[in-house]
């Protein structure tokens, strides 16, 4: 009797000290993540600096009505979704191709070296990448105008004011930055495949190509499906750096570079339109939340081990 | 056999080309930083410039007070932020990993939910600026967004749970160790590989961050190297779109020559390139572990 009492007291004490250890992190998440979640009510207010966030008048759905009346809502949604679709399709294909080739190299040292170099662009900041792209694209001294186009005898292009090439430019920059990162994941997955399957196939006379298409790719399928579904869950979010730093915030390009994230930033910091900006932000968070739930639900049906929850 | 060899050779060629293509953009700005300014203006950016020079780096050493200062800010924020972040993250992960902890599921959900839904930047911005008055302080670079990421917490929690046997904790408890002592003396020392991985992810995120500066810092005193680079670039854009040169005066940061700008970008990358060979192992491991659950 006494023993169990001591034990239960000890347990309670242990629970308390464990809770105390978690406390600082919990407080941070409450401030940094949870309070702003409740702040989404700003999307339903007619925000005025003077009246403050609580004193400002309610606007109902007016902010959303205005937002969806503008062309911006369509443009930013279209850009965010279409770029993500392109990134998912092209990015996945390139990453798998790189991973398959890497695994065929055999020479471990060379694989490590290639891997290291391909991952390096992933570690650069978007600001520095903005500088690098500028070195290629700027009108006067950029590498493309000065060297490539001149050698080909083509007139210089004012890249930061011409919308046409930007989808291609952004996809190339995305691939450059993320190719190494994504291929590492697929390499890990390929190296988990049982080697004896390949040996058996080789004995049966299956060519290398056949082995890749009949063994490697089918066995990669669960990883691919999981990763693609997770990306689809995030299709309403864009990489702010890619769409803000790389086009240098050039107004002439907004039609092809504006995404929901850049719109929210510009609304808040450049146009001071808090209500509209908050409405766009909530639109993103809400649709994003629903998509993540759907994506996860689907993953759980196909491959329960890889579901987030 | 020969077919396999041919495939190997083709793979090697394609990958070599890819690696070279991936490195060329970085090489271009490094070369530009070592190019004489007159050559840069005359010929533009080149991989093989006619005239090389170290002037840009001399200039930075002699004149670059703002540059050095921003470099210092970046280092301070990176080390300070990472240290606090690792502490908060591991402390949050430990109770989640303890089966004896009554509220572990609640806590896990509390952390996890932050990955599913967020309030967006507008409420965050108003909270940090109006209630915490964080604008133009060093805290603005350290505190918002980066201190605790649910992703890192889950990474550490999984490691605590899967790689450290419960019997160790029980033994320590029998010896009369408190929960805090177990955490500091048993768990942390055993979790070094994972702590290394999350420190790297966090450190790189701090070093490369420019968004906190963009939102919360206008005072030059607190510019990180990334924000300094960003300001210089936006001044160039302003100059291009508006021939009125007096506009530059408002930007606070003078416009350095092209080669100096490139040299600044190079020193902005430098710390990462220097540590990279030593930490690559941990990074790759983290990418693999985190990819699916990220």
ipTM of the complex: 0.90
Is the pLDDT confidence value at B83 over 90? yes
Is B59 among the domain residues? no
Q: How far is CA B127 from the centre of its chain?
A: 24
Number of domains, chain B: 2
The arithmetic mean of pLDDT across residues B50-73, rounded, is 86
Residue of B nearest to A179 (CA): B22
Chain B nearest C-alpha distance from A216 (Å): 15
B102 to chain A, minimum CA–CA distance in Å? Answer: 6
B73 with B49, same domain: the answer is: no
The answer to whether the CB of B152 falls within 8 A of the CB of A72 is no
State pLDDT tens for residues B109-123.
999 999 989 888 999
B194 in the same domain as B83 = yes
- In a domain, residue B247? The reply is yes
Contacts of A207 in chain B (CB under 8 A): 3
Question: Does the beta-carbon distance from B102 to A184 stay under 8 Å?
Answer: no
Enumerate the residues of chain A whose CB falls inside 8 A of the CB of residue B233.
Answer: 127, 130-131, 134, 248
Last residue of a domain, one of B53, B74, B97: B53
Range of the domain at B7: 1-53
For A271, residues 6+ apart whose C-beta sits below 8 A from its C-beta are A277
Whether residue B279 is predicted with pLDDT greater than 80 in this model: the reply is: yes
With an 8 Å Cβ cutoff, are B179 and A14 in contact?
yes
CB half-sphere exposure, B177, CA atoms < 13 A:
16
Please answer whether residues B286 and B200 qualify as being in contact, where contact means their C-beta atoms are separated by less than 8 angstroms. Answer: yes
Q: Does residue B21 sit in the same domain as residue B106?
A: no
Which pLDDT band, with edges at 50, 70 and 90, does B255 fall under?
Answer: low
In this structure, are strands A45-46 and A57-58 parallel, antiparallel, or unpaired?
Answer: antiparallel
- Interatomic CA distance for residues B217 and B211, integer angstroms: 10
- CB contacts under 8 A, A 215-244 vs B, are 223, 226-227, 230, 240-241
- Based on the fold, state whether residues B25 and B142 are members of the same structural domain: no
Q: Tell me whether residues A135 and B179 touch, CB distance under 8 A.
A: no
Chain B, 32-91: which have a CB under 8 Å from a chain A CB? Answer: 32, 40-41, 43-46, 87-89, 91
Asked if residues B211 and B227 have their Cβ atoms less than 8 Å apart, the reply is no
Residues B137 and B11 reside in one and the same domain: no
Q: Is residue B156 domain-resident?
A: yes
CATH code, domain carrying B86:
1.10.3720.10
Identify whether residues B25 and B112 lie together within a single domain.
no
**CA separation for the pair A136, A64 (Å, rounded):** 40
Contact A285 B119 (CB under 8 A): yes
Q: Do B119 and A249 touch (CB under 8 A)?
A: no
> Rounded to whole angstroms, how far apart are CA atoms B241 and B247?
11
Q: Is residue B230 part of a domain?
A: yes
- Nearest CA to CA, how far is A208 from chain B (Å)? 6
Q: CA of B62, closest CA in chain A: separation in Å?
A: 23
Q: Which pLDDT belongs to residue A76?
A: 94
Considering only alpha carbons, which residue of chain A is nearest residue B234?
Answer: A248
The confidence score (pLDDT) of residue A258 equals 94
In this structure, the answer to whether residues B21 and B161 fall within a common structural domain is no
Mean pLDDT of chain B: 87
Q: B interface mutation test: which of A36, A249, A277 has the most B CBs within 10 A?
A: A36
- On whether both B85 and B199 belong to a single domain, the answer is yes
**Alpha-carbon distance A6 to nearest alpha carbon in chain B (angstroms):** 14
Query: Does residue B46 sit in the same domain as residue B189?
Result: no
Confidence of residue B293 (pLDDT cuts 50, 70, 90): very low
Alpha-carbon span A249 to B233, nearest angstrom: 10
- A56 at the B interface (CB within 8 A)? no
Q: What share of chain A is helix, strand, coil (3-state, %, to 5)?
A: 80, 0, 20
Q: For residue B274, report the phi and psi dihedrals to the nearest 5 degrees.
A: -65, -45
Span of A44-58, B119-133, B163-177, B238-252 with lowest mean pLDDT: B238-252
Q: What is the pLDDT of residue A221?
A: 87
Nearest to B226 among A28, A127, A293 (CB): A127
Asked, for residue B58, whether it belongs to a domain, the answer is no
Kindly state whether residues B218 and B178 are assigned to the same domain. yes
- Separation of alpha carbons B206 and A65, rounded Å: 38
pLDDT at A2: 56
**C-alpha dihedral (B88, B89, B94, B96), degrees to nearest 10:** 110
Task: Give dist(CA A152, CA A149) in Å, integer.
Answer: 5
The A residues from 77 to 106 touching B (CB cutoff 8 Å) are: 98, 101-102, 104-106
Per-residue exposure over B241-268, b if at least 16 CB sit within 10 Å of its own CB, e if not: eeeeeeebeebebeebebbbbbbbbbbb
pLDDT higher than threshold 50 for residue B294: no
Lowest mean pLDDT segment, chosen from A66-75, B42-51, B75-84: B42-51
* pLDDT less than 50: residues of chain A: none
Confidence of residue B284 (pLDDT cuts 50, 70, 90): confident
**Shortest CA distance from B13: residue in chain A:** A101
Contacting residues of B for A233, CB less than 8 Å apart: none
For residues B40 and B118, membership in a common domain is answered with: no
The answer to whether residues B117 and B4 belong to one domain is no
Q: Round to whole Å and give the CA distance between A209 and A203.
A: 15
Q: What is the pLDDT of residue A145?
A: 87
Per-residue pLDDT, B17: 95
Whole-prediction pTM: 0.91
């Amino acid at each position: 009797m006494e023993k169990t009492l001591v034990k239960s007291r000890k347990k309670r004490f242990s629970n308390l000290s464990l809770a105390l250890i978690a406390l600082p992190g919990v407080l941070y998440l409450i401030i940094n993540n949870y309070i702003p979640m409740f702040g989404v009510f700003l999307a339903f207010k007619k925000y005025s600096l003077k009246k403050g966030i609580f004193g400002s008048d309610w606007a109902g759905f007016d902010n959303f009505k205005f937002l969806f009346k503008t062309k911006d809502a369509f443009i930013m949604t279209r850009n965010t979704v279409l770029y993500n679709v392109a990134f998912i399709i092209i990015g996945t294909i390139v990453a798998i191709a790189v991973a398959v080739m890497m695994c065929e190299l055999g020479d471990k040292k060379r694989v490590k070296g290639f891997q290291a170099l391909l991952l390096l662009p992933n570690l650069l900041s978007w600001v520095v990448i903005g500088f690098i792209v500028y070195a290629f694209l700027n009108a006067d001294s950029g590498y493309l105008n000065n060297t490539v186009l001149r050698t080909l005898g083509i007139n210089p292009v004012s890249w930061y004011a011409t919308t046409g090439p930007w989808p291609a430019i952004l996809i190339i920059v995305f691939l450059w930055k993320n190719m190494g990162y994504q291929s590492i994941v697929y390499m890990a997955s390929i190296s988990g495949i049982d080697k004896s399957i390949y040996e058996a196939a080789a004995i049966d006379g299956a060519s290398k190509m056949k082995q890749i298409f009949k063994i490697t790719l089918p066995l990669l399928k669960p990883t691919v499906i999981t990763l693609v579904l997770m990306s689809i869950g995030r299709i309403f979010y864009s990489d702010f750096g890619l769409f803000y730093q790389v086009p240098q915030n050039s107004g002439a390009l907004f039609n092809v570079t504006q995404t929901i994230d850049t719109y929210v930033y510009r609304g808040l910091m450049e146009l001071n339109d808090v209500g509209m900006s908050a409405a766009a932000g909530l639109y993103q968070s809400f649709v994003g939340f629903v998509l993540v739930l759907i994506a996860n639900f689907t993953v759980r049906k196909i491959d329960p081990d890889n579901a987030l929850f | 056999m020969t077919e396999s060899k041919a495939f190997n050779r083709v793979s090697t060629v394609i990958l070599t080309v890819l690696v070279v293509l991936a490195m060329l953009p970085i090489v271009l700005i490094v070369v530009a930083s070592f190019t004489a300014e007159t050559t840069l203006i005359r010929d533009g950016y080149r991989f093989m410039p006619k005239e090389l020079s170290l002037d840009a780096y001399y200039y930075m050493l002699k004149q670059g007070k703002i540059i050095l200062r921003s470099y210092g800010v970046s280092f301070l924020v990176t080390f300070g932020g990472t240290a606090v972040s690792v502490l908060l993250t591991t402390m949050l992960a430990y109770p989640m990993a303890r089966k004896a902890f009554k509220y572990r599921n609640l806590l896990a959900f509390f952390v996890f939910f932050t990955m599913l839904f967020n309030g967006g930047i507008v409420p965050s911005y108003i909270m940090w600026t109006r209630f915490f008055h964080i604008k133009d302080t060093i805290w603005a670079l350290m505190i918002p967004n980066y201190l605790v990421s649910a992703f890192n917490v889950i990474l550490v929690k999984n490691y605590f749970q899967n790689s450290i046997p419960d019997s160790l904790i029980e033994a320590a408890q029998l010896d009369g160790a408190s929960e805090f002592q177990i955490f500091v003396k048993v768990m942390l020392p055993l979790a070094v590989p994972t702590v290394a991985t999350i420190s790297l992810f966090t450190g790189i995120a701090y070093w490369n961050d420019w968004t906190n500066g963009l939102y919360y810092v206008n005072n030059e005193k607190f510019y990180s190297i990334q924000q300094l680079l960003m300001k210089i670039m936006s001044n160039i854009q302003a100059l291009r779109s508006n021939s009125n040169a007096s506009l530059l005066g408002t930007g606070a940061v003078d416009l350095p020559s092209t080669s100096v700008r490139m040299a600044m970008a190079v020193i902005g990358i430098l710390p990462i390139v220097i540590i990279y060979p030593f930490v690559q192992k941990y990074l790759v491991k983290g990418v693999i572990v985190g990819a699916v659950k990220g």
